[in-house]
Amino acid sequence: METLHADHDRGSFDSGVEALDLYLRTQALQDLRRRVSAVFVITPLGQRRVLGYYTLSALSLALGRLPLEARKRLPRHPEVPATLLGRLAVDRSCRGTGIRLGEHLLVDALMRSLEVSAQVASYAVVVDVVSGQPDPIGFYRRYGFQALPDQPRRLFLPMATIRRLFET
């Protein structure tokens, strides 16, 4: 996994979700330069063709949006810091290969988020799940992500849970 650079081949990337493809082709480098999003890509060894990517950025999460069980353990501040996994996409050419590239991207994003949270506090990783075929919500739920009560497509995973994932 590496940070996106201008010399990466983004033009041929096709995840099957136009919004995710367009973001990588036209917006990702600008967001990176403006420091509003960190963009990480995976490429074949020795090549510049992007096979998958994800983005991370900071987020404030309203305490009242969290499930009651999660709120009980948090200070009574109006908002808690979080890390937004804004986008995660895999090129269609990698599907059915047995490589599970999406899982590699997610694990890298969670590990990176956990490491950074030791220096810049973050309660959880949050993801806004884009509709697709098949629906990716099940992918995130397998790792323990749960929906915010009033936003069923906005999922979160506490850093404490992420830490336990990597301890085993």
Q: What is the pLDDT of residues 72-107, one digit of tens each?
A: 887 788 889 999 999 999 999 988 777 799 999 999
**What's the pTM?**
0.91
Q: For 42-74, write each residue's pLDDT tens digit.
A: 999 989 999 999 999 999 998 888 878 887 887
Q: Percent of the chain having pLDDT more than 70?
A: 98
Residue 62 phi/psi, 5-degree rounding, is -60, 125
Q: For 2-19, write each residue's pLDDT tens digit.
A: 999 999 999 999 999 999
The answer to whether residue 133 scores a pLDDT higher than 70 is no
pLDDT (0 to 100) of residue 105: 96
pLDDT (0 to 100) of residue 91: 95
Domains of the chain and any CATH numbers: 2-167 (3.40.630.30)
CB 60 within 8 A of CB 21: no
